A = this chain, B = another copy of it.
Amino acid sequence: MSLATDTADQPTLYKRIRADIEKRILTGEWPPGHRIPFEHELVARYGCSRMTVNKALSELAQADLIERRRRAGSFVRRPQHQSAVLKIADMRAEITSLGRAYGYELIGRKLRAATAADRDRLGVKKAGKVVAITCRHSADNVPFAVEDRLIDLASVPDAATADFSREPPGSWLLHHVPWTEAEHTISAIVADDRTAEALDITVGAPCLVIDRYTWRSARTITAVRLLYPGDSHRLVARFKGG
């Protein structure tokens, strides 16, 4: 039998190049406007032919994550649409890209055996352990969103010992577990006592809710609910049509 390696099964080379770059963009390590390495530099780094690098970059361009300019190079695009809004897993990147100061605060963290509700939320059947995290993100010291997250320890055992008091769980996950698929559900609720206090709004005020469920090759990773003040936050998505 074969044990899963640390970095899991290696996809093809061009996919690895694509994922490497995508990760740096999504985590904000390479911010909008940043010039990514030239093709010939990536060729040298990965020891492959130019066509392989080109394929990776072409796909990123098709996904509107980067913009390619002849003679100048390839540049990270500013998040502007569908992909950005719903793909962004890193709140820090979302807030700093708005030109605001990012703040983070851990409210609660519990390690427990998965309850029936937990299993339902994660979409798993077997009872295992989970980490439940509640935290708050702020922009310019104003509450921006509260996050209520569940991580399946069967898929991400390291999360049991990770320190979420400094690093938001979204960022931590992004750096430790490359995501493959996600589903978002957007809805609206009115703030209850707990939410109102966390977001510093009045009870009964509208809130935008984003539920994101993330998995990786049929393996559940995390389920997160983000609550935004409904009257101050906007999700903007822009499309080009045919």
Contact = CB atoms under 8 A, between A and B. Distances in A.
Interface of A: 11, 15, 18-19, 22, 26, 59, 62-63, 82-83, 86-87, 178-190, 204-209, 228, 230-231, 233-242
Given A59-B62, A241-B182, A242-B19, A206 B189 contact: yes
Nearest to A56: B242
Contacts of A83: 82, 239
A184 B84 CA distance: 13
Contact of A180 (B63, B86, B187, B242): B242
- List the 10 closest pairs (A to B, CB-CB), nearest first: A188-B230, A188-B188, A186-B235, A188-B206, A19-B242, A188-B208, A184-B237, A183-B238, A180-B241, A190-B206
B204 A204 contact: yes
9 contacts: A181-B240, A186-B186, A187-B230, A187-B234, A188-B208, A189-B206, A190-B190, A204-B204, A206-B207
Contacts of A63: 62
A229 to B, nearest CB: 9
A242 B13 CA distance: 12
B183 A241 contact: no
A18 B242 contact: yes
Given A184-B237, A184-B238, A187-B233, 5 more contacts: A62-B62, A185-B235, A188-B230, A190-B190, A190-B206
A189 to B, nearest CB: 5
A240 to B, nearest CB: 6
A9 to B, nearest CB: 14
Contacts of A180: 240-242
Contacts of A228: 188
A234 B186 contact: yes
Contacts of A182: 238-239, 241
Contact of A189 (B230, B235, B241): B230
Contacts of A178: 241-242
Given A188-B230, A190-B206, A236-B183, A242 B62 contact: no
Contact of A241 (B82, B181, B238): B181
B181 A239 contact: yes
Q: Which of A231, A233, A242 is the most central at the interface, judged by chain B CB atoms within 10 Å of its CB?
A: A242
